[in-house]
Structure 1
């Protein structure tokens, strides 16, 4: 990593006219929300110089932005203010955690203000140094062997925190959850929002999970990683200087730096900090079959039977919301799914396993005394409440009527959830739980009767998230949870549901957060039956291995729309090598299980899946290495051939561990094998 002079980060000197000579690539955006003009830019004390380069900022920071250091207390040293309510002084807490891991936090003076050893008094023999410059808002995390990772330009206000870091190369990976079109990021003024949302995969949209972690492979082939541990709505902008700008609207700036030096070392160090991935059950590494749209148990039986007739390897049958009575959690349809308890037992006797879906909202409008999950939850007081902290937040989702939302940050809710899961297992002897829509999803914009007009629901800055709204398809930010306002805990919802469920043999979750790999597997959401989505699934799989969630896969053949014979065949060949291998699609689409297309398709699918099954001992060993040492299970070619620059951008092939490469066909109209 190479030290970068102040001018390389686009600091301005002199008038706006003079700044038009500064290369656009060096600019750090001083008006990150839409609607920048020269007038409102300069009113902030920032510099204006219009540009035609797409997404490049015309409004950018001046030299005297940010905070200057006095030991580890930071005082604001300019009049620049983006959204007001700036806080000064603030405190930096630096902790040398291991020889390859550093943590530093920036918070309000008086909160977490204990200084654990200062940068000049490390208590371990670290492979890095930390250096402060007393006359600027700059400090450096220096790899002793080669150079530095500088971090600069901090802004700290009541609802807006920002920090910019130069990165030593453009080989940057991570940030999620989004549908990225390449594994190696485009650095040309791209911004990614991170705020959990029920949002089908779309490039640049914030999806189900939040992972503010990136890895950078430096020009000398050393690698480092950085985590911003923050659960508030946030975004990150990637600039061609190259540099990154983190923005969040709450909490503190709590960073972990991982020094590697190999990409695999970075992920090992990262998972050591956030928690090692769980060890999956061996049976769950087999092939899974699912769909939303089995109208009856008879259709499920017919599907399973034709899979067996074609001798296609198959271990796990999933049951989507079709099995429920009117989409009510902890019920089953005794008409269309009559005999389901007996059928699940029959599958067990054949050596198969069953997974049921549960959603994190509970209907409140059933007849009193007829729906135990609501009655028990009401008695135990387990719901997320309105801003008054007393009345339950009421939204609308899949069940009939209106719904309430369990607050899984409350220990009583964990008791409630555990009790219901155990009682329901006595009804349906399931082997795993699939948790969907746990962002949490809500068909309304906020709860009834809407969100109040205040700074919590409508903060001065809204990160670059879908709809520029914190309440779209979820609850109002000023709703109250056991841990505080939903404003701060929203993106944790999926993770705490997993923690409440995570002692089961198999837990599959749509929403994830930092550390979710300790408890659950993940699938990449409601993808489309398109060739590009098949390619993007490789990128998502590689990224979630960076995030410490290696048990991951995409819906084979696609979730939305009808697949085609050729696409589904190629996707089945690829999906046979997802760590989590499941065919799943949406209601209203044609069946797409591997047995529905006839004998020739079944023969090819059977061949690909048999290769998977023959390699399960190796895959299981990779998961053991992940669980014990934090390794990736699936990794990019760059992980093993880091010094070869050509591998840095390859995302059409991948490795199982260090020894087995998969190079699927991803183009239409290729010769069918």
Structure 2
């Protein structure tokens, strides 16, 4: 492997505090909670959009109401969700590598076309938010010069429409005179869930890392989710939305909209006019 990527898949053990502290839970009901104000004009209707035991467990998730306000009461267990590497890394060129991923969890019975009464062991791995998860993914990672990395994630089994926006991207491997300043690593948890990590080559500081929330990697037909940790609490900007302070508050399960909705600020955490990126 070249200097811009790791030659092996690193196994990462989740810290114990992430397993027991509720604030690190990944929400299993992002569509059935108070954040529906992102897309519903009449906010008074949101009071009826609540999570129930049935709506939570039907997705294969865990329900816990004994938590502080702002913490998900329905969450994805750390051992469920995510994808595993089934092929790769395959070197397509000196500047591009490809992986094939396969979904780890099975869909609950009510999401399948034919009903099969699953065993208790099978139910232990069942999970799906909306029932249209893409089973196999093709991940291509490429580099352009010493400090730019691009990752694309597509359905490995069928082609789908992509917005024809021209992207100027010329894959080229770093050279001896211009060595790589950032490095890509494919990681996995002890549950075999893959993560994506980008770090600096000089200091080793991590810039982008989905490993600790690999169970929250969702690639559904109409819902995409990838969760990353960031190297600092100093996060600003990121879309045009209302928030109480210049620096985003990251110590709770806050969400910040990034899509344009063409509405003025109304005092809530809402999508406004602008978009990002």
Give the TM-score taking structure 2 as reference length: 0.62
Aligned pair 1:86/2:140, yes or no? Answer: no
User: Looking at CA atoms only, which structure, 1 or 2, has the larger radius of gyration?
Assistant: 1
C-alpha separation in 2, matches of 1:183 and 1:130: 31
Q: 1:107 to 1:10 in 2, by over 3 A?
A: farther
C-alpha separation in 2, matches of 1:56 and 1:177: 24
- Residues 398-443 of structure 1: CA deviation (Å, up to 9, x unaligned): xxxxxxxxxxxxxxxxxxxxxxxxxxxxxxxxxxxxxxxxxxxxxx
- Give the alignment partner of residue 102 of structure 2, picking from 61, 75, 87: 75
Aligned pair 1:61/2:76, yes or no? Answer: yes
- Give the alignment partner of residue 165 of structure 1, picking from 214, 228, 232: 228
Partner of 1:196: 260
For the Cα contact (< 8 Å) 1:9–1:28, is it kept in 2?
no
Residue 51 of structure 1 and its aligned partner are, at CA, apart by 3.2
Partner of 1:146: 204
| Equivalent position SS for 2:186 | strand
| Equivalent position SS for 2:134 | coil
Partner of 1:98: 145
> Mind listing any 5+ residue stretches in structure 1 that lack a counterpart?
12-21, 212-513, 515-673
- Residues 292-343 of structure 1: CA deviation (Å, up to 9, x unaligned): xxxxxxxxxxxxxxxxxxxxxxxxxxxxxxxxxxxxxxxxxxxxxxxxxxxx
Partner of 1:543: none
Residue 168 of structure 1 and its aligned partner are, at CA, apart by 2.8
Residue 156 of structure 1 and its aligned partner are, at CA, apart by 0.8
Cα RMSD of the aligned pairs, angstroms, is 2.7
C-alpha separation in 2, matches of 1:8 and 1:175: 30
- Give the alignment partner of residue 40 of structure 1, picking from 48, 52, 55: 55
| Equivalent position SS for 1:164 | coil
Partner of 2:6: none
Q: 1:61 to 1:108 in 2, by over 3 A?
A: same
Partner of 2:182: 128
C-alpha separation in 1, matches of 2:272 and 2:204: 37
Aligned pair 1:26/2:46, yes or no? Answer: no
* Matched positions, count: 194
C-alpha separation in 2, matches of 1:143 and 1:94: 16
Q: 1:51 to 1:31 in 2, by over 3 A?
A: same
Aligned pair 1:179/2:242, yes or no? Answer: yes
C-alpha separation in 1, matches of 2:62 and 2:12: 21
C-alpha separation in 2, matches of 1:10 and 1:44: 22
C-alpha separation in 1, matches of 2:138 and 2:66: 37
Partner of 1:207: 272
- Give the alignment partner of residue 137 of structure 1, picking from 182, 194, 200: 194
For the Cα contact (< 8 Å) 2:261–2:273, is it kept in 1?
yes
Residue 77 of structure 1 and its aligned partner are, at CA, apart by 0.6
Residue 67 of structure 1 and its aligned partner are, at CA, apart by 0.8
- Residues 102-140 of structure 1: CA deviation (Å, up to 9, x unaligned): 11111112549xxx97xxx95453212211136322122
Residue 4 of structure 1 and its aligned partner are, at CA, apart by 7.7
Aligned counterparts, 1:613-652, within 5 A: none
For the Cα contact (< 8 Å) 1:51–1:57, is it kept in 2?
no
For the Cα contact (< 8 Å) 2:242–2:265, is it kept in 1?
yes
C-alpha separation in 2, matches of 1:5 and 1:26: 15
- Residues 211-266 of structure 1: CA deviation (Å, up to 9, x unaligned): 1xxxxxxxxxxxxxxxxxxxxxxxxxxxxxxxxxxxxxxxxxxxxxxxxxxxxxxx
Partner of 1:6: 14
For the Cα contact (< 8 Å) 2:145–2:174, is it kept in 1?
no
Q: 1:76 to 1:168 in 2, by over 3 A?
A: same
Residue 44 of structure 1 and its aligned partner are, at CA, apart by 1.2
C-alpha separation in 1, matches of 2:66 and 2:231: 25
Give the TM-score taking structure 1 as reference length: 0.27
